[in-house]
Amino acid sequence: MTALSQRATEQLQARARELNARLDQLKAAGLALDLTRGKPAADQLDLSNALDGILRGDYRLKDGTDARNYGGLLGIPEARALGATLLDTTPDRVIAGGNSSLSLMQLVVDAALRVGLWGAGSAWQRETDTPRFLCPVPGYDRHFAICEALGIEMVTVPMTDHGPDMDAVEARVAADPGIRGIWCVPKYSNPTGCVYSDAVVARMAQLPKRAAAHFLVMWDNAYAVHDLEQPSPKLASLAPLTIAAGTDDNVVQFTSTSKITFAGAGVAFLAASPSVVKALEKHMGTMTIGPDKINQLRHVRLLEGRIAQHMQQHAALLRPKFAAVLERLDHSLGDLGIATWTRPKGGYFISLDTLPGIAQRVIERARAIGVTLTPAGATFPYGADPNDCNIRIAPTFPRLADVEAATDVFVLCVELESIEQILARRLAS
Amino acid sequence: MTALSQRATEQLQARARELNARLDQLKAAGLALDLTRGKPAADQLDLSNALDGILRGDYRLKDGTDARNYGGLLGIPEARALGATLLDTTPDRVIAGGNSSLSLMQLVVDAALRVGLWGAGSAWQRETDTPRFLCPVPGYDRHFAICEALGIEMVTVPMTDHGPDMDAVEARVAADPGIRGIWCVPKYSNPTGCVYSDAVVARMAQLPKRAAAHFLVMWDNAYAVHDLEQPSPKLASLAPLTIAAGTDDNVVQFTSTSKITFAGAGVAFLAASPSVVKALEKHMGTMTIGPDKINQLRHVRLLEGRIAQHMQQHAALLRPKFAAVLERLDHSLGDLGIATWTRPKGGYFISLDTLPGIAQRVIERARAIGVTLTPAGATFPYGADPNDCNIRIAPTFPRLADVEAATDVFVLCVELESIEQILARRLAS
């Protein structure tokens, strides 16, 4: 096939009629499909059903503590060790929290903003009226929501296939002393699925030295072990690099078991330098007596020493869904020159870029046929995609047959909106 | 026996020598006892061991939702209903959260301070530079810590046997427009154990009308069902009174299962007006995708329809410990005129007042013998008891024999410090 933009107008008009007819048929079928949610499917959740009942009446930690009672603000030692495995660091640097890494991220940014993580007077709000964060785009809407809720301005920088464009990142940081941090999803980035290259990780570890004081790299390693293929891409370990660079106090790592065990009932972790852990411990001390140690202990009993095996079971369930989407994108859009998309080796998303200016229309058209996609712009700060071209596809939650059916509709919508865009431009020129 | 203050100096000196000798003997015994912690004992925790494994593979809510996955910011409907039972209100007004009611309290005060719970422009920080809270004393140190962390000034008002001195509360609120809230533990108040009378509850429901706009009654009903005796004192239901008074948006209630099931792994609840619930939902939406619904479901399966029966089992374990303390206080201090104490019908604490100026010395002396008590002043804002007389006794956590042994030491310390105080005063006058 030739690229759509090379085809004759009549040919495109004919194809548009054909696509419209097919979509009308599909609409009549009354589909109700959903590709919006980065959620595990029920068969993935089943992999962790042993969690309930796993303690068998044994609530003692290795140090003798009764996990059922109050206390232990930083989490149980066993869980901190589990988090250290996930984040490739040491247990003393880890805080094991409740069920939400997002809550930990909000806690850290809020503490940096209002209290300061680096001693008296280090709160961002003392230093600047308008703290700003760099947001590689496309990115994760819930990161952006934290900034928006806390009044932190967002400045976008482009993503590449190897992580954020570090030239752009470094230039921005050098030029703007109001910039206080950057959001990173270093492995299987949400939504592109890229893995930060060793060079990007190394430059990120150096970044705080180029920035204003009290810079914060928010390293959300949500998909640390969420590989679809083996051997899997290896993410460079951040902590040794920041320790060597003297930027150890300027990086906080996050992860959770949300997409390892139960999405709503997992354990979240952060890792930071000893002094930042201490500052956070003090800050948390007025908010809670401690996390749910019982749930932490359950997770330790389920996952200790068998994370890789467990994640391979997830991968076996997820691979066909990702393959189904990619096959359809390749088959239906591969030669048309109207879209590009990522081929992630892990994580939860595929990111697709349409021709500029039609992402929202594609999503609206798909919704009219009964296929819901993540809202256009969600992958950009303030919900505003300047090119209106990025679409996040989340194939994990629906049944395989539904992923297939939804993608079949989606590719038709992309092609039709592309044709209409091309025709409209020809008419206008 | 006659009151110590009526006895001759020589008699007191002889008694002091006797007490010193006995304490020296006890010190040699190398005790390590602890009456500081408002924690359930292991045998109480055992009452809820069925929690682990209770789901038996059934993760479905009544509405069909899979509790293992993401979502449900306000908690599962079944848990909201459980919270409504505990807080004597309706499920639509309840948010079922994570394991910590303290976190919910911090969330509410922080939201009221910075975001506003009553629409645009209602944040306290917009209205006043120095928001203040009324703190009935003695009270709960973790309430005070929330205020301190958030920069809210604390103003004390006295507790009576029936709740806060409402004349003082109303006068303060009328005189000081900076006052934005009050902390209340309405049933088995921490530490006195008093239950707010119907008149106090009724006046509290009216209080926001006397106060500046955006007043907040923080109603921490932590011991709602924690009765030691039957029939138990009945706390008037707050919600109907505030609805009738038009102050419904100015009261938030809290409770948790921390001292019903597992102290560190329970479920916390708040109840508020529909508009405040909505404001909190929006505020929480950037912090988390939702609470641990699995743990909520476990609690529902364990407790639904059998809270009273469950709490009676707790009471059976706790009654002997409270009785052991009270017997010893009565027997050893009853006629000496040097201390008063409460006789709570529920909750977790006994509050004792010494002669003015010796609480800290009593606690230090006991610690030297190997008996740890809650630090002096902990029941007052900023850790400062102006009369240095209040001591909080927490008899629940140690074994009964240890409660007995610790109280035996404690009464000796109270008597000895009282004698020394009386003698010093005689010398000075």
* Interface mutation target, options B44, B59, B69, chain A, most CBs of A under 10 Å: B69
Q: Which of residues 97-156 of B touch A (CB under 8 A)?
A: 98-100, 102-103, 106, 142, 145-146, 148-149
Cβ of A66 within 8 Å of Cβ of B45? The answer is yes
* Residues of chain A contacting B70 with CB distance shorter than 8 Å: 37, 39, 258, 263-264
Give the integer Cα–Cα distance in Å for B252 and B269.
10
Minimal C-alpha gap between B221 and chain A (Å): 17
Q: What is the pLDDT of residue B271?
A: 98
Alpha carbon B182 to chain centroid distance? 14
A295 touches chain B (CB under 8 A): yes
Output the pLDDT for position B222: 98
In this complex, which of B98, B102, B263 lies closest to A69 when CB atoms are compared? B263
Q: What is the pLDDT of residue B55?
A: 97
Structurally, what CATH architecture does the domain formed by B4-44+309-428 represent? Alpha-Beta Complex (3.90)
Three-state helix/strand/coil letters over chain A: CCCHHHCCHHHHHHHHHHHHHHHHHHHHCCCCEECCCCCCCHHHHHCCHHHCCCCCCCCECCCCCECCCCCCCCCCHHHHHHHHHHHCCCHHHEEECCCCHHHHHHHHHHHHHHCCCCCCCCCHHHHCCCCEEEEEECCCHHHHHHHHHCCCEEEEEEEEECEECHHHHHHHHHHCCCEEEEEECCCCCCCCCCCCCHHHHHHHHHHHHHCCCCCEEEEECCCCCCECCCCCCCCCCHHHHHHHHCCHHHEEEEEECCCCCCCCCCCEEEECCHHHHHHHHHHHCCCCCCCCHHHHHHHHHHHCCCHHHHHHHHHHHHHHHHHHHHHHHHHHHCCCCCEEECCCCECCCEEEEECCCCHHHHHHHHHHHCEECCCCCCCCHHHCCCCCCEEEECCCCCCHHHHHHHHHHHHHHHHHHHHHHHHHHHHHC
Minimum-distance CB partner of A39 among B70, B265, B288: B70
Tell if the CB–CB gap between B66 and A45 is shorter than 8 Å: yes
Helix (H) or strand (E) holding B94: strand B94-96
The chain A residue lying nearest B145, using CA atoms, is A286
Integer Cα distance of B217 and B239 in angstroms: 12
Which one-letter amino acid corresponds to residue A293?
A: K
Mean pLDDT value across residues A283-305? 96
- What local confidence, expressed as pLDDT, does residue A56 receive? 95
Mean pLDDT of chain A: 97
Nearest to B49 among A49, A57, A142 (CB): A57
Chain A contact present for B66, CB below 8 A: yes
Q: Which one-letter amino acid corresponds to residue A55? A: L
Looking at CA atoms only, how far is residue A86 from chain B in angstroms?
21
Q: What is the pLDDT of residue B129?
A: 87
**pLDDT by 10s per residue, chain B, length 429:** 689 999 999 999 999 999 999 999 999 999 999 999 899 999 999 999 999 999 999 999 999 999 999 999 999 999 999 999 999 999 999 999 999 999 999 999 999 999 999 999 999 999 998 999 999 999 999 999 999 999 999 999 999 999 999 999 999 999 999 999 999 999 999 999 999 999 999 999 999 999 988 999 999 999 999 999 999 999 999 999 999 999 999 999 999 999 999 999 999 999 999 999 999 999 999 998 899 999 999 999 999 999 999 999 999 999 999 999 999 999 999 999 999 999 999 999 999 999 999 999 999 999 999 999 999 999 999 999 999 999 999 999 999 999 999 999 999 999 999 999 999 999 998
Stretch A188-201: mean pLDDT:
98
pTM of the model: 0.96
What H or E segment, with its residue span, contains residue B339? strand B339-341
In angstroms, the separation between the Cα of residue B173 and the nearest Cα of chain A is: 26
Q: How confident is the model at residue A212 (pLDDT cuts 50, 70, 90)?
A: confident
Q: Which of A286, A297, A301 to mutate to test the interface with B (most CBs of B within 10 A)?
A: A286
Instruction: Report the relative pairing of strands B153-160 and B163-164 from DSSP bridges.
Output: antiparallel
Helix (H, G, I), strand (E, B) or coil at B77: helix
pLDDT at residue B2 in the model: 86
Note whether B264 contacts A288, CB cutoff 8 Å. no
The full set of domain ranges for chain A reads 4-44+309-428, 61-304
pLDDT band at A2 (very low <50, low <70, confident <90, very high): confident
**A315 and B CB contact within 8 Å:** no
Task: Indicate whether A1 pLDDT > 80.
Answer: no
Q: Is A296 on the interface with B (CB under 8 A)?
A: no
Which residues of chain B are within 8 Å of residue A100 when distances are taken between CB atoms?
Answer: 287-290
Give the Cβ contact number of residue A145 at 10 Å: 17
Cβ atoms A379, A139 nearer than 8 A = yes
How confident is the model over A157-184, as pLDDT tens digits? 999 999 999 999 999 999 999 999 999 9
Per-residue pLDDT tens digits for B329-367: 999 999 999 999 999 999 999 999 999 999 999 999 999
B292/A265 Cβ within 8 A:
yes
Return the structure tokens found at B78.
């079944």
* pLDDT on residue A129: 87
Given A55, A68, A262, which is nearest B68 (Cβ)?
A262
Mutation target among A148, A288, A348 for the B interface, most CBs of B within 10 A? A288
Task: Supply the pLDDT for residue B212.
Answer: 87
Residue A244 pLDDT > 80: yes
The answer, yes or no, to whether the previous bond of A138 is cis (omega within 30 of 0) is yes
> What single DSSP character describes residue B356?
T
- The CATH class for the domain spanning B61-304 reads alpha beta
Q: What is the residue-wise DSSP string for B146-207?
A: HHHHHT-EEEEEEEEBTEE-HHHHHHHHHH-TTEEEEEE--SS-TTT-----HHHHHHHHHH
Q: Which residue of B has its CA nearest to A115?
A: B149
Element spanning B95, H or E = strand B94-96
Indicate the burial class of B30 (C-beta count within 10 angstroms; 0-12, 13-18, 19 or more).
exposed
Instruction: Write the pLDDT tens digit of every residue in A46-92.
Output: 999 999 999 999 999 999 999 999 999 999 999 999 999 999 999 99
Mean pLDDT of A117-126: 95
pLDDT at B300: 98
Residue A388 pLDDT level (bands cut at 50, 70, 90): very high
Contact status, residue A426 vs residue A10, Cβ threshold 8 Å: no
Q: Which of residues 327-346 of A touch B (CB under 8 A)?
A: none
Q: Are strands B251-256 and B216-220 parallel, antiparallel or unpaired?
A: parallel
| Per-residue confidence (pLDDT) for residue B429, from 0 to 100 | 84
